[in-house]
Structure 1
Amino acid sequence: MNSKHAIAIIDDSSSVRRALESLLRSLGFVVLSFESAEAFLTSPVVRETSCVVTDVEMPGLTGIDLYESMRSDKNQTPVIFITANSEEKVRARLGSMPCVLNKPFEVDELAACINQAIAAP
């Protein structure tokens, strides 16, 4: 079932991207990887992904900026935030809706967030 779902990973750290790519592929997802929010937003797959997993703190557009840009473009693709900082910063700006995972997080936490996101209507 997961093979029909493309998950976009957006993180400025190549080691984090590689780890997430490997993890999500092992769970059966198609994985698309981007080094920045800008690279994702200008890609031809921006509206073809089932879910976005993004770091919060990145040079240029942050993960929160990415989320707000997607919503202003009427793109309702679910977004999952990963952060080494406090999730309170994300919650202060976006409320309780998005899934926010603090690094390091457990595989089952990420899988649960993705499965919930792609199952939502």
Structure 2
Amino acid sequence: MRESLVAVIDDDALVRDAAASLIRSFGYRTATYPSADAYLDAALDTAACVLTDMQMPGRSGLELRHSLRARGSTVPMILMTAFPTDELRARAAGLDLVALLDKPVDPDLLSRALALAIGG
């Protein structure tokens, strides 16, 4: 649903801001976080979807997924990575992710993943 809030988590400010700008161009609202811990410290109930980087200082995107599940969160998650490997794809396959996207993120794939995660 348009105007839903998408949390964008990436330690690289340029990537984080570019992703948030792209997502806003699709009609969604965004909130940005420089780390998984910053997101976990924030109000979790507001995001309709989380777009997170895989490799960040502190918790990785996969560790964030585990932490959210441990807290009972069912927020849909899209993971993005600049280092796609078969091992990562296998690890991510069992985590109920909406998508695992390669960086740089293809706008059409991100738009489709968001529509799948949120609806609309």
Task: Name stretches of at least 5 consecutive residues in structure 2 with no aligned partner.
Answer: none
Cα deviation code 1:56-100 (max 9, x no counterpart): 000000000000100111100000000001153333223264210
Structure 1 residue 20 corresponds to structure 2 residue 19: yes
Structure 1 residue 105 corresponds to structure 2 residue 105: yes
Whole-angstrom CA distance in 2 between matches of 1:114 and 1:39: 22
Matched AA of 1:116: L
Structure 1 residue 38 corresponds to structure 2 residue 37: yes
TM-score by length of 2: 0.91
SS in structure 1 of the partner of residue 58 of structure 2: coil
Whole-angstrom CA distance in 2 between matches of 1:116 and 1:87: 24
Is the contact between residue 87 and residue 101 of structure 1 (CA under 8 Å) also seen in structure 2?
Answer: no
CA RMSD of aligned residues (A): 1.3
2:88: which partner in 1? 90
Name the % identity. 36
Question: Looking at both structures, which has the greater relative contact order when contacts are Cα pairs under 8 Å and sequence separation is at least 6?
Answer: 2
Is the contact between residue 87 and residue 100 of structure 1 (CA under 8 Å) also seen in structure 2?
Answer: no
- What's the offset of the Cα at 1:48? 1.4
Whole-angstrom CA distance in 2 between matches of 1:114 and 1:90: 21
Structure 1 residue 2 corresponds to structure 2 residue 6: no
1:118: which partner in 2? 118
2:28: which partner in 1? 29
Instruction: Count matched residues.
Output: 117
TM-score by length of 1: 0.90
**Relative to 1, partners in 2 of residues 1:74 and 1:87: Cα closer, same or farther, differing over 3 Å?**
farther
Runs of 4+ in structure 1 deviating by more than 6 angstroms, as ranges, are none
